[in-house]
Structure formats: C-alpha cells, structure tokens
C-alpha cells in the first residue's frame, strides 16, 4: 500500500497535450476514480502511472520513490502494481490457472505457496470450476473475474483498472461494481480506476477526479462532486444538471428570466455574469403561482414524458432558456400549461468558469 | 552533483539506466534493408546513365528508344500485357462471381482448382503447353491429325506464337484477378443486396445495380495486377517467344547478358520496367483504397446466393472447361511425359516406364546439385527472411521506435522491383569490388531474401496486429521484463504465423526463376534454372519429373501452412 502522487504531470504527443499539468494525491488504501469523457486523458494518465508511457513533464511518486519523470521512468515490471485492462488481456494460450498464477511464477515463489494462493484467489472470485479452461471458453463475466484474480494474486501495492466493466452487460456491470469495491475493502491497496460512467464512479470511489481536455476539473469525494460542482463541465457531466446564466445582482443573487435567484457556492462580484447549476430533480414544479416569489421562475411546459417512477418535463422560461425537471409521476401537467419553478437557493450552485 | 540531488530526491534504488535498444535496432535493420534494396537499385541507376568509360550519358536511353531491337520488344510487351490483362478479367470476373455469389454446384472445388493454377510456376505451365501444343509434336496437334487424318505438317495450335504466349500467360495470371474479385464479392455484406431487394429490386437488377458496381474497383485493381504480372514475367516468354523469334522486355534484358554482355543497356532497359511497376502498384493502391465503403457498417448478413436454376450445371461446365487450360491439360501432359518413353506420346502399357524418374534422380548429375542448392537456399531464405520480417513488423506494428514507418516502407519496397530488374541490379552490385559474390550462393540468397521480404512482412505484420499490445502490457505490469513478455506471451501466440510464413517463403524461393536466371553459375543452379536449362536442351521428360516433384513439394508445403491453426491469410505468391 502506498501513497500515489502526481505532481504537475504532462504528456505531449507532438503539439497535442494528452495530459496537461495535472496534480493529484491519493492516500494509502484509497480508491480514486479518474472520470471523464473519451479522449479526456484519463487512460493516458493511468498508463503514465503504470509506466507504459513516459511523461513529458512532472513526476509520479509512489510511496517515497519517484517512479516517473522525464529523465527517468521505472519500467512497469519494477513498480509492484497490477492492472486490469479494458480488453481483459487474458492470454489465450494459457489456462485460467496459468493466467492467474503467472505473476507468482515470475516472482520465483515455490510451488506449494503458488498452489495455495491460487486456490484461495480462485475461490474468492468463484472460479475454481474453471481453472483448467482457456479464456476463449469463458463468458464475459468469468473473463472479467479471471482478470481480477490475476491482478490481485500478486498482492500489488497499487491496482490500476482501465474501464474494467465496459465490456459487460448492464446487470453484470452493477454486480461487478460492488465486487470491485468489496475486494478493495478486503485488501486495501491503493486503487486507480478509470471510467467514463459516472454512476460507476459514484458507487465505487472514495475520491473522484473529473477530467476534461487533459486537465483535472475537480477532485473530491463523490458527495462533494455531486453536490458542489465547481465548473459547468462537472455540473453537466455528473448527473446532468441544468445550467443557467445571468447577471450578478449582488453578492449572492443573479437575475434570470426576470426573476432573482439566490445561490450558493461562491461570492459573486457585482456587475459580472455567473452560471449556476441545479439538478433536474431539485427543481419543484408548481401549477399555481406560489405566495413567496423568492427563487421562483415562471415557465411553460414544452413537453413531458412518463418515465414510470418519475415524469420528465421540458419547460421554457420567458427568455427562451429550456430546463429539464424531474417531477413525481403523479404530477401530470399538460403541454402548453403555465408552471412556476421553485429553485431552492441551497441547491443553486454558482459555478466558476 | 546533479546525480546526487536526484538520488536525494528519492529515485528508485534501481538498476543502471535501461539500455535503449531502439536506436541500434533501427540502424541495424535500416542498414540491412539498404544493402538489400538501395544498393542494387543505385548501381542500376548508375549503369543506366554512364557509358563504358564511366562518363555520364543519356546514350543508353537514346539507343533504347531508337533501336528497333529494343523498340519492338517494348511494343510487344505492351500489347502482350494489355491483351493478357483483358483476357484475365474476361475469364476471372465471371468465374469469381459464379463462385462467390451463385448457387453453382461444387464452388469450393472450383476455388481449389483456381488455387492450383495460382500455385503452378508459370514457366512450368509454359513447358507443359509445349508438350500439348508444339506444332509438330504437341499432343493436341497429334490428336487433331489422328482424328481428321490431316497431313503431317498441319496443326491446330502453335504455342510458339504471340497468341500462344498470351494464352499461356493468361492461364497463370487470371488467378490474381480471380482472388481480388472473389474476395471483394465475399466481403460485400448480404444486407446491401437485401436493402435493394426490399426496395423492389429483382435479383438480376440487384446484381447489376449493387453487387457488380461494388466489385468493380477490385476488378480494375485485378486488371492492373494482371498487366504487371504479364509485363514482368520472364519464364513463359523465354520458353515460348524465343523459339517463335521475338522478344519481350524481360527476355531482351536477359539476352543483353549473353555474350557479349551489355550491362549499361540492360540497366537502362530495366529502369522503365521499374518505374512502370511502381506506377501500377500506386494505381492499384488508389483503386483499392477507395473500396472501404463496401464494408461500412455493423454486422453484415450472410450474402444471399443468386439462383441460377437450370443454368447451374452449364455454368459449372463452363468453369471446368476454362480450368482445363491451366490445370487439367498441363498436369495431364506432365504426368504423361513422366511415365512415357517418349515425352510427346500418350502412355500405353507398351511404352510405360519409370526410367525418366530414375534418370532424373539417379543419373542426371545436375539434379542433385540443384536440389541441394534449392533446399539450402529455400531454408536459409525462409529463416533469414522470416526473422528480418518478424523484427521489422514487430517494430512497425507496435510503433516501438521512431522511424518505424521508414522501416515498413523499405520492407514492402521490393514488391515494386520486378525479379529480372533485381537480378540485373544484384549482378551489377556484386560482380565488382568491394563485394564479389557472383558465382556463390550468397548472391542468390540476397536476391531471394529481398524478393520474399514483402510477403513475409505483410503476413507477420497482420499476425502481430492481431496480438493486442495489452497482452504484453499485462505481463509486464505483473513483473515481466520486455524480453520475458516477448518470450512468454508474444512468441507462443505468433508461432503458428511464423511457421506459415516460413513455408510460404520456402515455396516462393523454389518457384523463383527471373532473378535466379541472371545470377546463377554452373555451381549454383537451382531447380527452376535446371528446368529452364533442360528445356533449352529439349529434355521434356526430365522436366516433367522435376516439375511434378516441385509441384508436390509446393502443394504439400502450402497445405501444411494452411493446416497450421490460426492462419487465415490468403496466399500471395509472386509469379515472375
């Protein structure tokens, strides 16, 4: 178990900066998620940590060692890490047992210990019955578990996962999500997990680093990222928020579509313009005008769809801004009807940039 | 001082800095490829532009375009290649369509027969057709006279003629067009045709408006390849055109090395051939490069076969009739000559003999030497060629070093060098100091390695691409060094492809004639050259024995390579 720290890490391919001066500190035994859309640099970051890619600038520290810097990069085999690949990368010419035991045989461990550890990890991952099969004879979920077992048997200091669940079907993915977390809690290695799926990140991570365009937009606990997004990108990417813009009225209010909105998160500079975000399910939909006018915006229903548990509304404010609102399923307001939106001040987050 | 600060900063207590092998690797292999390719071509250009005294001149080219002795072969070659290319397309396209897209019976068998003509060395086919259609002794002409009672000097076919040469060349060139067309038709997803049907297109309308246009680029590319093959072929014109009293470019170049040798003219005559080949290959690439649209989109449905109804069996009959010419008749003639006391007489119980086989393998002193040379060269070329191709394709597929593109380009470049041109270039390079290799097996080895490099490189590169780099990375992150990862993971996964590539290179060496004919000496004859020599001395029975032996080894090797599991690639042999 080790602290993993990225200091001003960069990777350039020609003029393109795949990873652009990022810094991140992951304490012992934490599970951090690098979350972002494809092409945001998260996989490059992971491969930098693994040592497959050499940095153009900055450093990577593991424990008290510098493992990567532009001058010198420790080869992957000397880092005491494990990695689970998006493609699983199971060796087709080896059986499940051979695949899983590979890391131990490289470490020249005696046969009995290998056999003991092998049977232990195979039973943890429920693979005993498949020990002599070849990867081509397994289902996707079983292959995934072989990849997990192969990575965990060497008891790495650091475990890296590159979109490990993206090849599984929806049900299995949910199940494996908790499996990854359970194994992490059992062994407590430092884990870096790359994914583009925000619910995957929410359910597994201690720490989420949202990446965009080679940079870390925001790093924090899942609650922090969800409740207090700092940028429009994070607000939209995590749980798809509504983002509205308006002129600052004073230190805590902006004007939007003829109404004044009080918001939270930052002290506003008078005269400037600020974007605020609010979750779709945090907006309350009222079919009659409320008594208090604080944080109330009049609007018209553009369309609505029954979703089973909820009803998904698209409404349009006076200035033409469209907002999505998730309302209770029984609240059925027809298209074209006027509505009043209540945006609770504590749910309106002022965004930076 | 700087080192101290770094250590203090907590650098891993590590081994000495990792040795960076990429530079030595790229330089070594770039040097090897330069010696193989750039050296002979440089001498070729040098000789083309100097006179006897070594002064710069354009006189060689002037003579080339003004002397009838050179202009005629040029025109002949052009007409020959154009006609052969048209004939190949006319024959191969319908057969390709019948095999790939209709419910004609025994389509697999027809494909197999086309492969058989593909694998047959063209010079052997030409000799077999001498047995069949030489004006006096040819089996077909004898049969004609026997049936019609025509006088002794009348004949039906004369293979020693311009049409005869076009016919024989087409016999062994049409498979190239066939493979391109049939593969392209195989790859057109069935739902493209279904989409036309659902919009109301009838079977034939769909074939005409959708299927055929989609296959047209492949046909055009096939035409270019056929042109190229016919233009650069040496064996068939040497066997058929020389007795008929005319030259093609390749035989003309060859004759310039007969006494008295005129290497400057040979070099000058080789250059247009080289340039044309490069241009044609570029054109093929462009034509095929636009084909991408035919395989757009997700999972394709199985193609639906066109129902020929009552035409099914007639269609098969036409295919088999066509395949009489490259396969049944020539193979029959070779078999017949092998067991007959007189090569051009039909075998009967009275003249059946094993003497020819005995003669070739036990009495003819040249056989042993040629066999030995061929097997030494075949094994050495296959081993060295596969090794070079393996390293280069690994480097390019994994983009392991900067400059990998240049290595890949050099490895495929020999495709654009016709065998005879390479022969001339190597002859010029290695008959003078500092490298005098002429008269040794080394010069043949260099020629064969160069010729086989593109095929080996193509095969191995696609094999390495199929081994995802994650598989190696997974091994390294678990603690394997680069070399351990290669030996535990990559090597076992590539083994089958490497064996198959080795086999194909071996077969390719055995059938190579056009470069070997420029470079052999009496001590370094190989089988193909021996067959060519025996043809000059008219020993057709011995040729048949050797030819059949060669075919058996070829088929056995190709079958072995195809049996190796995990090797799906199509064969691509060069015919020169």
A334–B contact, CB cutoff 8 A: no
Does residue B253 lie in a domain region? yes
- Pair (B45, B146) in one structural domain: no
- Choose one of B244, B259, B294: the last residue of a domain: B294
B10 chain-A contacts, CB cut-off 8 A: 61, 64-66
- Give the minimum alpha-carbon distance from B411 to chain A in angstroms, rounded to a whole number: 26
- Pair (A96, A8) in one structural domain: yes
pLDDT at B6 over 70: no
Instruction: Give the ranges where A188-273 is alpha helix by DSSP (H).
Output: 198-204, 222-227, 232-237
Q: Which of A58, A91, A155 to mutate to test the interface with B (most CBs of B within 10 A)?
A: A91
Token readout for B387 is 């090794």
User: Distance from CA of residue A106 to its chain's centroid?
Assistant: 33
- B221 vs A240: CA distance, rounded Å: 52
- Pair (A28, A45) in one structural domain: yes
Instruction: Give the pLDDT score at B483.
Output: 86
Domain that holds residue B107: 63-294
Please list the pLDDT of chain A residue by residue as tens digits (353 residues). 468 999 999 999 888 899 999 999 999 889 999 999 988 999 999 999 999 999 999 999 998 889 999 998 898 988 889 999 988 899 998 999 999 999 999 988 899 999 999 999 998 888 999 999 999 899 888 998 899 899 989 888 899 999 888 877 778 788 888 888 888 888 888 999 999 988 889 888 999 999 999 999 999 999 999 888 888 899 888 877 888 888 888 888 888 888 888 888 777 887 788 888 998 889 999 988 888 888 899 999 999 999 888 999 999 998 889 999 999 989 999 999 999 999 998 888 888 76
Read off the pLDDT of each residue in B419-430 and give the average, rounded to a whole number.
90
- Pair (A90, A182) in one structural domain: yes
A92–B contact, CB cutoff 8 A: yes
Token readout for B83 is 């006609």
B155 within 8 A of B141, measured Cβ to Cβ = yes
For A78-115, b/e burial (b = at least 16 CB within 10 A) is bbbbbbbbbbbbbbeebbbbbbbbbbbebeeeeeeebe
pLDDT tens for A300-314 read 999 999 988 899 999
- Give the minimum alpha-carbon distance from B488 to chain A in angstroms, rounded to a whole number: 10
- Pair (B249, B109) in one structural domain: yes
Does residue B5 lie in a domain region? no
- Pair (A249, A291) in one structural domain: yes
A67·B9 Cβ contact <8 A: no
- Pair (A227, A244) in one structural domain: no
Does residue B345 lie in a domain region? no
A98 phi-psi bin (left φ>0, alpha ψ -120 to 50, beta other): alpha
- Choose one of A232, A259, A291: the last residue of a domain: A232
SS3 A106: helix
B11: DSSP letter: B
B479–A contact, CB cutoff 8 A: yes
pLDDT tens for B276-310 read 888 988 888 887 765 444 443 344 556 677 788 88
- Give the minimum alpha-carbon distance from B565 to chain A in angstroms, rounded to a whole number: 13
Domain count, chain B: 2
Identify the CATH number of the domain in which residue A343 sits: 2.40.50.140
- Pair (B258, B400) in one structural domain: no
Does residue B324 lie in a domain region? no
- B337 vs B496: CA distance, rounded Å: 38
Compare CB distances from A66 to B11, B473, B492 and report the shortest one's residue: B11
- Choose one of A232, A261, A295: the last residue of a domain: A232
How close are the terminal C-alpha atoms of chain A, in Å? Answer: 37
- Give the minimum alpha-carbon distance from A157 to chain B in angstroms, rounded to a whole number: 12
Domain that holds residue A319: 240-350
A77–B contact, CB cutoff 8 A: yes
- Pair (A184, A263) in one structural domain: no
- B386 vs B442: CA distance, rounded Å: 17
Spatial neighbors of A37 by CB under 8 A, at least 6 apart, are: A196, A212, A237
Instruction: Give the pLDDT score at B453.
Output: 92
B480·A77 Cβ contact <8 A: yes
Domain count, chain A: 2
- Pair (A199, A252) in one structural domain: no
Does residue B335 lie in a domain region? no
- Pair (B152, B278) in one structural domain: yes
Higher pLDDT, B187 or B227: B227
Token readout for A184 is 């992490």
A102·B11 Cβ contact <8 A: no
- A85 vs B489: CA distance, rounded Å: 16
B12·A66 Cβ contact <8 A: yes
- Pair (B190, B50) in one structural domain: no
What is the overall mean pLDDT for chain B? 84
B492 chain-A contacts, CB cut-off 8 A: 93
Flag whether the ipTM exceeds 0.85: no
Distances (CA, A) of A238 to A20, A32, A209, A266, B43: 22, 16, 11, 19, 67
B12·A78 Cβ contact <8 A: yes
- Pairing relationship of beta strands A31-35 and A190-195 according to DSSP bridges: parallel
- B280 vs B205: CA distance, rounded Å: 33
A85·B11 Cβ contact <8 A: no
- Choose one of B259, B277, B294: the last residue of a domain: B294
- Choose one of A163, A198, A232: the last residue of a domain: A232
Identify the CATH number of the domain in which residue B33 sits: 1.10.3720.10
- Pair (A157, A176) in one structural domain: yes
Read off the pLDDT of each residue in B208-214 and give the average, rounded to a whole number.
81
Read off the pLDDT of each residue in B69-98 and give the average, rounded to a whole number.
93
- Pair (A125, A255) in one structural domain: no
- A72 vs B22: CA distance, rounded Å: 16
- Pair (B38, B105) in one structural domain: no
- Pair (B174, B263) in one structural domain: yes
How close are the terminal C-alpha atoms of chain B, in Å? Answer: 65
- B468 vs B494: CA distance, rounded Å: 12
Q: How many CB atoms lie within 10 A of CB B134?
A: 23
Does residue B499 lie in a domain region? yes
Q: For B436, phi and psi rounded to 5 degrees?
A: -105, 100
Instruction: Give the pLDDT score at A241.
Output: 86
Does residue B371 lie in a domain region? yes
Instruction: Give the pLDDT score at B576.
Output: 38
- Choose one of B294, B329, B363: the last residue of a domain: B294
**Which residue in chain B is spatially nearest to A87 when comparing CA positions?**
B470
User: Distance from CA of residue B251 to its chain's centroid?
Assistant: 18
A105–B contact, CB cutoff 8 A: no
Instruction: Give the pLDDT score at B3.
Output: 37
Q: Which of A264, A312, A258 is nearest to A285 (CA)?
A: A312
- B95 vs B313: CA distance, rounded Å: 13
SS3 B54: coil
- Pair (B45, B76) in one structural domain: no
**Which residue in chain A is spatially nearest to B479 when comparing CA positions?**
A77
**Which residue in chain B is spatially nearest to A94 when comparing CA positions?**
B489
Q: Which of A73, A78, A148 to mutate to test the interface with B (most CBs of B within 10 A)?
A: A78
The residue count for chain A: 353
- Pair (B29, B78) in one structural domain: no
Compare CB distances from B479 to A64, A77, A86 and report the shortest one's residue: A77
B473–A contact, CB cutoff 8 A: yes
A231 within 8 A of A352, measured Cβ to Cβ = yes
The residue count for chain B: 576
Residue B403: CA count within 13 A, CB half-sphere: 9
A81·B489 Cβ contact <8 A: no
B382 within 8 A of B512, measured Cβ to Cβ = no
- A54 vs A11: CA distance, rounded Å: 8
A33 within 8 A of A184, measured Cβ to Cβ = no
- Pair (A329, A254) in one structural domain: yes
- Pair (B442, B381) in one structural domain: yes
Spatial neighbors of B348 by CB under 8 A, at least 6 apart, are: none
- Pair (B44, B68) in one structural domain: no
pLDDT tens for B358-370 read 888 888 888 899 9
pLDDT at B134 over 60: yes
Share of chain B above pLDDT 90, in %: 37
pLDDT tens for B488-508 read 999 999 988 898 899 889 988
B471·A89 Cβ contact <8 A: yes
- B208 vs A308: CA distance, rounded Å: 51
A154 chain-B contacts, CB cut-off 8 A: 478-479
Compare CB distances from A85 to B9, B474, B481 and report the shortest one's residue: B474
Does residue B372 lie in a domain region? yes
- A253 vs A262: CA distance, rounded Å: 4
- Pair (A99, A145) in one structural domain: yes
- Pair (B426, B467) in one structural domain: yes
Q: For A306, phi and psi rounded to 5 degrees?
A: -80, 125
pLDDT tens for B509-536 read 998 999 999 899 888 999 999 999 999 8
A:160-199 residues touching chain B, CB 8 A cutoff:
160
- Pair (A196, A308) in one structural domain: no
């Amino acid at each position: 178990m080790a602290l993993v720290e990225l200091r001003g890490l960069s990777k350039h391919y020609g003029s393109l900066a795949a990873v652009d001066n990022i810094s991140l500190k992951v304490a012992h035994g934490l599970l951090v998620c690098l979350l972002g859309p494809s092409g945001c640099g998260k996989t490059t970051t992971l491969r930098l940590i693994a040592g497959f890619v050499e940095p153009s600038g900055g450093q990577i520290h593991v424990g008290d060692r510098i493992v990567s810097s532009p001058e010198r990069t420790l080869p992957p085999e000397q880092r005491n890490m494990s990695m689970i690949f998006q493609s699983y990368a199971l060796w087709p010419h080896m059986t499940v047992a051979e695949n899983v035991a590979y890391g131990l045989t490289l470490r020249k461990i005696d046969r009995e210990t290998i056999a003991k550890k092998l049977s232990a990890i195979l039973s943890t991952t429920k693979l005993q019955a498949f020990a002599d099969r070849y990867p081509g004879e397994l289902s996707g979920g079983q292959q995934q578990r072989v990849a997990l077992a192969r990575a965990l048997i060497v008891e790495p200091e650091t475990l890296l996962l590159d979109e490990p669940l993206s090849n599984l079907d929806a049900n299995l993915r949910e199940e494996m999500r908790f499996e990854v977390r359970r194994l992490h809690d059992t062994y407590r290695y430092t884990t870096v997990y790359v994914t583009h799926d925000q619910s995957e990140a929410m359910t597994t991570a201690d720490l989420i680093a949202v990446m965009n365009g080679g940079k870390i937009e925001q790093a924090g606990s899942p609650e922090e990222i969800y409740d207090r997004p700092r940028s429009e990108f994070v607000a939209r990417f995590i749980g798809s928020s509504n983002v509205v813009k308006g002129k600052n009225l004073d230190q805590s209010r902006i004007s939007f579509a003829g109404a004044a909105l009080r918001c939270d998160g930052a002290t506003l500079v008078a005269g400037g313009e600020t974007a605020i975000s609010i979750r779709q399910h945090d907006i309350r939909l009222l079919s009659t005008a409320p008594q208090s006018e604080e944080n109330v915006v009049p609007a018209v229903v553009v369309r609505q769809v029954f979703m089973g548990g909820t009803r998904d509304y698209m409404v349009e404010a006076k200035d033409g801004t469209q907002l999505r609102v998730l309302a209770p399923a029984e609240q059925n307001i027809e298209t074209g009807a006027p509505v009043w939106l209540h945006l609770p001040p504590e749910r309106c987050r002022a965004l930076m940039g | 001082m700087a080192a101290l600060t770094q250590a203090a900063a907590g650098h891993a207590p590590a081994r000495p800095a990792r040795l960076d092998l990429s530079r030595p690797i790229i330089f070594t292999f770039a040097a090897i490829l330069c010696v193989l390719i750039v050296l002979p071509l440089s001498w070729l250009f040098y000789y083309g532009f100097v006179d006897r005294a070594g002064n710069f001149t354009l006189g060689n080219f002037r003579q080339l375009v003004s002397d009838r002795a050179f202009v005629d072969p040029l025109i002949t070659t052009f007409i020959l290649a154009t006609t052969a290319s048209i004939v190949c397309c006319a024959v191969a396209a319908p057969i390709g369509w019948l095999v790939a897209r209709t419910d004609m019976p025994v389509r697999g068998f027809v494909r197999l027969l086309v492969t058989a003509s593909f694998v047959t060395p063209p010079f052997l086919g030409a000799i077999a057709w001498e047995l069949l259609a030489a004006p006096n002794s040819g089996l077909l002409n004898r049969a004609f006279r026997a049936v019609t009672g025509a006088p002794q000097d009348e004949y039906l076919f004369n293979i020693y003629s311009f049409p005869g040469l076009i016919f024989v060349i087409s016999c062994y060139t049409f498979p190239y067009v066939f493979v391109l067309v049939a593969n392209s038709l195989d790859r057109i997803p069935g739902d493209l045709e279904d989409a036309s049907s659902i919009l109301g297109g009838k079977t034939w309308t769909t074939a005409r408006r959708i299927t055929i246009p989609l296959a047209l680029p492949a046909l055009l590319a096939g035409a270019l390849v056929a042109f190229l093959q016919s233009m650069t072929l040496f064996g068939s014109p040497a066997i058929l055109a020389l007795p008929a009293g005319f030259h093609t470019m390749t035989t003309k170049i060859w004759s310039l090395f007969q006494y008295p040798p005129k290497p400057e003219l040979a070099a000058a005559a080789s250059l247009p051939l080289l340039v044309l080949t490069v241009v044609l290959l570029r054109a093929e690439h462009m034509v095929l490069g636009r084909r991408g649209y035919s395989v757009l989109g997700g999972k394709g449905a199985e193609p639906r076969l066109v129902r020929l109804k009552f035409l099914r069996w007639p269609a098969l009959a036409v295919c088999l009739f066509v395949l009489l010419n490259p396969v049944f008749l020539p193979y029959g003639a070779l078999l017949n000559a092998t067991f007959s006391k007189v090569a051009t007489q039909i075998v009967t119980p009275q003249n059946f003999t094993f003497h020819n086989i005995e003669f070739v393998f036990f009495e003819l002193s040249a056989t042993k030497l040629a066999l030995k040379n061929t097997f030494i060269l075949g094994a050495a070329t296959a081993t060295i060629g596969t090794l070079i191709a393996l390293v280069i394709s690994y480097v390019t597929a994994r983009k392991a070093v900067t400059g990998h593109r240049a290595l890949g380009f050099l490895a495929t470049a020999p495709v654009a060098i016709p065998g005879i041109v390479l022969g001339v270039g190597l002859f010029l390079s290695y008959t003078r100091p500092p490298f005098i290799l002429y008269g040794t097996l080394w010069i043949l080895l260099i020629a064969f390695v160069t010729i086989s490099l593109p095929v080996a490189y193509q095969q191995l590169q696609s094999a390495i691409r199929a081994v995802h780099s994650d598989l190696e990375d997974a091994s390294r992150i678990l603690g394997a060094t680069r070399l351990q990862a290669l030996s535990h993971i990559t090597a076992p996964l590539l083994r089958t492809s490497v064996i198959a590539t080795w086999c194909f290179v071996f077969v390719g060496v055995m059938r190579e004639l056009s470069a070997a004919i420029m470079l052999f000496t009496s001590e370094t004859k190989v089988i193909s050259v021996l067959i060519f020599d025996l043809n000059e001395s008219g020993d057709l029975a011995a040729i048949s024995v050797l030819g059949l032996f060669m075919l058996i080894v070829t088929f056995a090797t190709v079958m072995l390579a195809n049996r190796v599991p995990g090797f799906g690639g199509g064969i691509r042999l060069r015919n020169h």
